[in-house]
Amino acid sequence: MKVFKFGGASVKDAQGVKNIARIIQLFENDGLIIVVSAMGKTTNALEEVVRSHYYEQGDWQAKLDEIRAYHLSIMSELFANPHHIVYEEVEHTFYQLRLICQTKPEADYNLVYDRIVSYGEIISTRIVSAYLSDVGVENTWLDARKLIKTDQNYRFARVNWNFTEILLRQAIRNPESRYVVQGFIGSDDNYHATTLGREGSDYTAAIVAYCLDAESVTIWKDVPGVLNGDPKVFENTVLLNKISFSEAIELAYYGASVIHPKTIQPLKHKGIPLMVKSFVDPQSPGTVIENGSPLDPMVPCYIRKTNQALLNVRTTDLAFIVEEHLSQIYAMFHRYGIRVNLAQNTATSSTFIINHDPVNVPLLLDSLRKSFEIDYSEGLVLYTIRHYSESDIKIFLQNKDPLLQQTTPTVYQLAVRDV
């Protein structure tokens, strides 16, 4: 059995859904688990619904109507029959969303976030599954909230691997069949919806493959494979034909958007190959990530992370920053789910480049202020070059005012103000 994952860009319109069907039909002799993300920018739109509902500001109903209209427009191109059962299924889903938004929000923003945002994948998979059935690809729709079991760390849920494996093996009994399941989402022990972190559908594919000992995982993207940089940002990018799991983990850690950071580890543990291929040109070889493969070719890899912030933490009495302070600071990062992308220490302070989270960062700052003096500045970009050369650094420094730099034997990082 193989696991295929299709992201939001591959299901952003009716043509994308039709293309998924064409790709799957190329693998008519394979059992497949098809992991699908929310359509297009639906997750972003649902995040706006969450904010409007939770803070009781703006018109959540209007935002929800826009999301509904977007999906109905796609469905109208896919299903000629206006009485197709999928319309009833999707309408029921939006009815559930409205009920949630009509009730007083829970105190925990992250719980509310997961409850609402998780519906994006429910809707997209209903549509994809129904269309596949209509064109002769028999499949079974599965609800990931009943299969991927997690803790209650909402928005950044951690997987209960043993329970999840039991549930997946119970649900997927025929390795020669096709199944459609949502990426990104799961549920806790109380069956409250949880999410695995933004772009978590890749991780879902890895979870499923690990638990079921799949033959391989293929992530279908709008690029020909893993490139040495985002072609929308960097010029003259090249395809990396083969990458080791270790190299892929490094690239993902530093923010390479083509691979979710958590995806690699479960696959590496069981030696399950990961392929990144083009959904535009499915016959092209793409990139293979597996045990033992060197970076091929050995070229510099460029990564740009936006929405970054600089956090400087200082002791209040000019005492040295020591292990006790750092342990306290990192415990707070963990508590609020804040990702650290670069860190530097001086005698009395530590400076961090972190992902700016408009919900959890203010909570973090309030906690830090109880024990430390802090400065916080958002609106930064973090550039990373893996396997850099001195000429790469000179080019990156042109017309830039560095706020923070760091160099190791294999990695150069530069934080600058976003412009």
Region 245-255: what's the mean pLDDT? Answer: 86
Nearest in space to 152 (alpha carbons), one of 110, 184, 118, 199:
110
Does 320 belong to an annotated binding site? Answer: no
- Specify the pLDDT at position 295: 62
Residue 392: predicted pLDDT: 84
Distance between CA atoms of 129 and 217, rounded to whole angstroms? Answer: 19
Position 58 scores a pLDDT of: 86
Q: For 198-229, how does the pLDDT look when each residue is reduced to its tens digit (9 = 90+)?
A: 778 999 999 999 999 999 999 999 889 999 99
Give pLDDT tens digits for 59-77. Answer: 999 999 999 999 999 999 9
Q: Is the link from the previous residue into 297 a cis peptide, with omega within 30 of 0?
A: yes
Calculate the average pLDDT of the chain: 93
pLDDT digits (tens, 9 = 90+) for 82-141: 999 999 999 999 999 999 999 998 889 999 999 999 999 999 999 999 999 999 999 999
43 marked ligand binding residue: yes
- Mean pLDDT across 268-276: 95
**Model confidence over 138-174: pLDDT tens digits?**
999 999 999 999 999 999 999 999 999 999 999 998 9
**pLDDT tens digits, 336-381:** 989 899 999 999 999 999 999 888 999 999 999 999 999 999 999 9
106 is in an annotated binding site: no
351 annotated as ligand-binding: no
> Is residue 7 annotated as involved in ligand binding?
yes
Domains along the sequence of the chain with CATH: 2-221 (3.40.1160.10), 301-417 (3.30.2130.10)
Kindly tell me if the per-residue pLDDT of 262 is higher than 90: no
**What pLDDT was estimated at residue 296?**
55
Q: What is the mean pLDDT of residues 262-291?
A: 93
Residue 410 to residue 403: CA distance in whole angstroms: 21
| Mean pLDDT score, 260-287 | 92
